[in-house]
Structure 1
Amino acid sequence: MGPHNIKGKIVSGVFWNVLQLIINKTFSFAIKLVLAKFLFPEQFGLVGMAAVFTSFVQVFNELGIGAALVQRKDEHLRDSHFYTAFWTGVVWSVGIFLLITFVVAPLAANFYNEPLLRSIIPVLSIGVLSSPVNLVHRAQLTKKMDFKKLAFIGNASTIFAGAVALVLALQGAGVWSLVFNSVASFVIAMPLYFRATGWMPKLIWEKQAFNDIFGFGIYTTGTSILNNLLYNLDYLLIGKLVSASALGVYTFAFVLTDTFRNQFTIMMNKVMYPVYGRHQDDPGLLKKYYLKVVTYNSLIIYPIMVLLIILGEPLILNFFGSKWEESILPMKILALSVMVHMLVSGHASLLRGQGRPKLELKLQFFKAVFLYAPLITLGIYKYGIVGASWACVAYKVLEVILIQYYLKKVVDISIKDILTHLKVPFIASAVSFVLTSMLYLAGVHYLICAMVLGLTYTGIVVMLMHEELMLQYRELKKGRVKQVA
């Protein structure tokens, strides 16, 4: 596949993944808006408690097999690799589900002194059984960069899950509406994956094929374990040291900020990971692609974070009610941490695509053990959820310094390169922040302020990047025409 075809695939992939993100996040946000009207912070906190324990076990579920299939070059893949991956995942997932049901659920209930977790956790973990069934199909579609089909499956399953949750909430199901919102998407996704690929498993398991994919997957699994520690240690400690209500408030703030950032960067990583794998021997091209990813990630995320920092208070109070008032300050602080993180967004996908899962694992280990764990523990112990939020800011700053060192070493990307490529989102964010803040302080309605922020930011970006944006539009149009042809 030539560079022009690859570029078209990237632009097309970004289009379909952005479309999926918009539909997913818009619909999910609307569902959470409705659920927040019916539910209370304590109920969000209960699901957060359950998710902490299940995620620590679920992280072992795929064993990094899906990532290994995508990273491995086509000429080194045989049918037996796919069959072996499928059956390994299925057998392993059954064992994981039994472990969650009979060991993790009672342990979590005792740890938090919340008996309801014995029932919530097994239901919340149903996805463990279906995820390995879908992993080969996801890997095949990702490898082909067929993000149109992936977007359709993601959107259909999200809408289905949201509808189920909404019906349950209206029927007074309480916390169970949140639980099934997390589970129902797997039910619709499974048959859609089989239909999208046409791939059916055969009863074949080969030791050599297992060694090939597990040798790569063991490092990505280790990285996933450490990622899970990074994303859930604060939830674990807040639930234990503070309260379920505080955890619900913090979870809500996190969903509006870092969870959104995480979902968007995952979307971009899905597009770029197979590209990095194909061009792992061309550092110059990798550098070019990575800097583009950082630029466009920041262009999308920065205005949302600026909006939350300036107008987070009226948005939360008017849309979600005063019961979520305590989430306002943590949300603003976490929004700042997200803006810092964007300086090195997507670095893990770059390292993994280059075939460096071991380096990725080492970095995650250092960040989890020596940076995040002590900072978040101290922050929560001293200042509760506000301390946790400031600990996230401090961690992100140190993470940028660490990752920047290795980006320079691996693909010769300097901090100057990154700051140069972020010039436009920096300028647009600064101007929008000042103008919108002045209007809000002058008493202008917050919805008008939000519109001014969006128009100002968009106008500056278009003015400064007009030629590049038009080029990307032409590439997208060309890629869609080729797909139709």
Structure 2
Amino acid sequence: MSLGNIARSNALWSLLQQFSSQGINFVVIIFMTRMILPEDFGLMGMIYVFISIGVVLLEGGMTESLIRTKDPDTHDFSSVFYVNLISSIAVYALVYVSAPFIAKFYDQEVLTNIIRVFSLTFVISAFTAVQNAILVKELRFKRQIAIVIPALIISSIVGLTMAYHGYGVWSLVYMALVKAFLISVQLWFYASWKPTLSLQWGRVKHHFSFGYKIALMEILNSIFANIFNIFIGKNFAVAQVGYYTQANTLKQVPVSNIYGAINKVAYPIFSSIQDDAEKMLTVYRRMLLLMMFVLTPIMVCLIILAAPAITFLFTEKWLPALPYLQILCFAGILHPLVVFNMVIFKVKGRSDLYLYLGFINKLFIVIGIIATFKVGIIALLWSQVAAYFVSFLLNSFYLSRVMGYHFLKQLADLIPILLLNVFVGAVLYYVYGLLTSYGLGNFTVLLIGTTVSVLLYIVLSKMFKMNELIDLRSMVAHRSINFVNRRDQ
């Protein structure tokens, strides 16, 4: 099968996996917010960073190397498998010993047992990290859906049942644990590859030499993706962590779905065309602009309709999360512009540049925190938006060197999408004010406001003949997008 056909047949499956997985998670969280307290979500928010770091230490970036490597064999897979397994036991032991100190840091004794139980997912996932990497490398997203969705449904039932019976934060812990176990069991039985008795240190060294830089960057990403949870949890009430966590979760539903789906297709495709600079640039531009075309209007709608959205989905007790959500949505618009170009650096083998830029970008966040932490949480979140914007400028400079996609060209590509969203957002703001003046319910306001925005966005996009709308219509009509072979009009 040609690369174009592979991209066409798997883009939709990747999207379906992202949307179905996140959709189920989101629906479950909606019900969870009605049964457990903001403080329970806050406790989980406090430990996310340590769990994320554990996952990165477990894989050491070597599964990324497997995906990038052309024609890896069973010796590569088996060597990485055994290293992952050994690492998982070591990481779990480290986390187990560290748990009381983490709990003391937050002054929350209950975190000790939560961390120790939740961290069992490290060992469980290690058994099938390589099998999952093989599915990603081979673009077998249809198989991934068949594995992930049943695990999600069963684990969600477990979590909701526990929440209903008053288990609080433990319902979230065991929901994650059951999900990891079921996914690993299915990957083990349904994957075409099984480990052999082969541990070749030469292969390990090869994958580690590339992967450790990626792992260091992912550790930084994990820390800074959760740095506001850490800071808020240390300096403010536990409930504030819960409000921030839920606001970030609501923002991340569209961001992680849209970016995650396209990024999952992008990395293996870019790896296969890394020697064709012109084709790589064309594919990159199409993917980036499609992400921005779909993601930006969703963020604009969330900014304007934040109050009815939170009240309808989570009930009024979560309204303190309102300003957090609105600010985070501005960061959500900038997110693809900052992180998607990092994929190019990985594919081009510039893991040094990937690490350097990631470190500098995180430094911007630290500067923002130092400058605003005394002011309060609102100022703290605005500093995140500012850091993303400066990071976009810096990344664009290096992207122009690596791939020839200059900042002014990026800006010229993005301006039509941004201007369109500013206009649609202004109309929605007026419509929202009109609807609330009539005293309509939250669901009615959301339904009418969203419908008006979507219809206006589509009509104007068609009027101005935007290529991104053509891609989107192609995906809906033909269930695929030919990123690789389709040329700009």
**What's the TM-score once normalised by structure 1's chain length?**
0.92
Q: Is the 8 A contact 1:277 1:355 kept in 2?
A: no
Per-residue CA distance 1:65-120 (angstroms, 9 max, x = gap) = 1101010111xx232111111111011101111111122x1111110111100111
How far off its partner does 1:452 sit? 1.3
1:169 aligns with 2:163: yes
1:288 aligns with 2:288: no
How far off its partner does 1:415 sit? 2.4
Q: Is the 8 A contact 1:265 1:345 kept in 2?
A: no
How far off its partner does 1:336 sit? 1.0
Q: Is the 8 A contact 1:376 1:388 kept in 2?
A: yes
Per-residue CA distance 1:123-143 (angstroms, 9 max, x = gap) = 211211122222211121122
1:21 aligns with 2:15: no
1:409 to 392, 398, 401: 401
Per-residue CA distance 1:199-251 (angstroms, 9 max, x = gap) = 11122211111111111111111111111122121111111011211111111
Q: For residue 65 of structure 2, what is the aligned residue in structure 1?
A: 68
* Larger deviation, residues 208-217 vs 457-466: 457-466
1:84 aligns with 2:84: no
- Cα distance in 2, alignment partners of residues 403 and 81 from structure 1: 32
Q: For residue 367 of structure 1, what is the aligned residue in structure 2?
A: 361
- Cα distance in 1, alignment partners of residues 477 and 451 from structure 2: 28
Q: Is the 8 A contact 2:155 2:178 kept in 1?
A: yes
Change (3 A) 1:55 1:340: closer
Q: Is the 8 A contact 2:19 2:257 kept in 1?
A: no
Q: Is the 8 A contact 2:217 2:358 kept in 1?
A: yes
Pairwise mapping of residues 259-278 of structure 1 onto structure 2 (< 5 A)? 260-278=254-272
Q: For residue 458 of structure 2, what is the aligned residue in structure 1?
A: 458
Pairwise mapping of residues 230-269 of structure 1 onto structure 2 (< 5 A)? 230-258=224-252, 260-269=254-263
How far off its partner does 1:475 sit? 6.5
How far off its partner does 1:472 sit? 5.1
Q: Is the 8 A contact 1:45 1:248 kept in 2?
A: yes
Change (3 A) 1:437 1:278: same
How far off its partner does 1:258 sit? 4.1
Which amino acid counterpart does residue 50 of structure 1 have in structure 2?
I
- Cα distance in 1, alignment partners of residues 389 and 192 from structure 2: 46
* Larger deviation, residues 165-174 vs 438-447: 438-447
Q: For residue 12 of structure 1, what is the aligned residue in structure 2?
A: 9
SS at match of 2:375: helix
- Cα distance in 2, alignment partners of residues 364 and 115 from structure 1: 33
SS at match of 1:90: helix
Q: Is the 8 A contact 1:66 1:136 kept in 2?
A: yes
Which amino acid counterpart does residue 461 of structure 1 have in structure 2?
S
1:394 aligns with 2:386: yes
1:418 aligns with 2:410: yes
SS at match of 2:128: helix
Change (3 A) 1:21 1:236: same
Which amino acid counterpart does residue 32 of structure 1 have in structure 2?
I
Pairwise mapping of residues 342-357 of structure 1 onto structure 2 (< 5 A)? 342-357=336-351
Q: For residue 30 of structure 1, what is the aligned residue in structure 2?
A: 27
Q: Is the 8 A contact 1:35 1:166 kept in 2?
A: yes
Q: For residue 483 of structure 1, what is the aligned residue in structure 2?
A: none
Pairwise mapping of residues 48-63 of structure 1 onto structure 2 (< 5 A)? 48-63=45-60
* Larger deviation, residues 458-467 vs 281-290: 458-467
Which amino acid counterpart does residue 403 of structure 1 have in structure 2?
N
2:371 to 365, 371, 378: 378
Change (3 A) 1:244 1:439: same
Which amino acid counterpart does residue 459 of structure 2 have in structure 1?
G
RMSD over equivalenced CA pairs, Å: 2.0
How far off its partner does 1:398 sit? 0.6
- Cα distance in 2, alignment partners of residues 174 and 212 from structure 1: 45
- Cα distance in 2, alignment partners of residues 277 and 477 from structure 1: 20
Residue correspondences, number = 471
Q: Is the 8 A contact 1:343 1:418 kept in 2?
A: no
Per-residue CA distance 1:322-342 (angstroms, 9 max, x = gap) = 221111011101101211333
Which amino acid counterpart does residue 336 of structure 1 have in structure 2?
F
Which amino acid counterpart does residue 28 of structure 1 have in structure 2?
N
How far off its partner does 1:450 sit? 2.0
Q: For residue 430 of structure 2, what is the aligned residue in structure 1?
A: 438
- Cα distance in 2, alignment partners of residues 45 and 39 from structure 1: 11
Q: Is the 8 A contact 1:11 1:475 kept in 2?
A: no
Q: Is the 8 A contact 1:305 1:335 kept in 2?
A: yes
- Cα distance in 2, alignment partners of residues 332 and 42 from structure 1: 21
Which amino acid counterpart does residue 364 of structure 2 have in structure 1?
L
- Cα distance in 1, alignment partners of residues 213 and 339 from structure 2: 20
How far off its partner does 1:345 sit? 4.3
- Cα distance in 2, alignment partners of residues 375 and 46 from structure 1: 25
Change (3 A) 1:472 1:39: closer
SS at match of 1:355: coil
* Larger deviation, residues 107-116 vs 121-130: 121-130
Change (3 A) 1:11 1:461: farther
**What's the TM-score once normalised by structure 2's chain length?**
0.91
How far off its partner does 1:317 sit? 1.9
Q: For residue 229 of structure 1, what is the aligned residue in structure 2?
A: 223
Which amino acid counterpart does residue 359 of structure 2 have in structure 1?
F
- Cα distance in 2, alignment partners of residues 78 and 98 from structure 1: 31
SS at match of 1:201: coil
Q: For residue 487 of structure 2, what is the aligned residue in structure 1?
A: none
How far off its partner does 1:256 sit? 1.3
Q: Is the 8 A contact 2:259 2:336 kept in 1?
A: no
Please list every run of at least 4 consecutive aligned residues from structure 1 whose deviation after the TM superposition is greater than 4 angstroms: 466-479
Structure 2: tracts of 5 or more residues without a match: 483-489
- Cα distance in 1, alignment partners of residues 174 and 135 from structure 2: 27
Q: For residue 97 of structure 1, what is the aligned residue in structure 2?
A: 92
- Cα distance in 2, alignment partners of residues 73 and 382 from structure 1: 50
SS at match of 1:382: coil
- Cα distance in 2, alignment partners of residues 159 and 384 from structure 1: 39
Identical columns (%): 27
1:44 aligns with 2:41: yes
Per-residue CA distance 1:397-430 (angstroms, 9 max, x = gap) = 1111111101111101122332333355324422
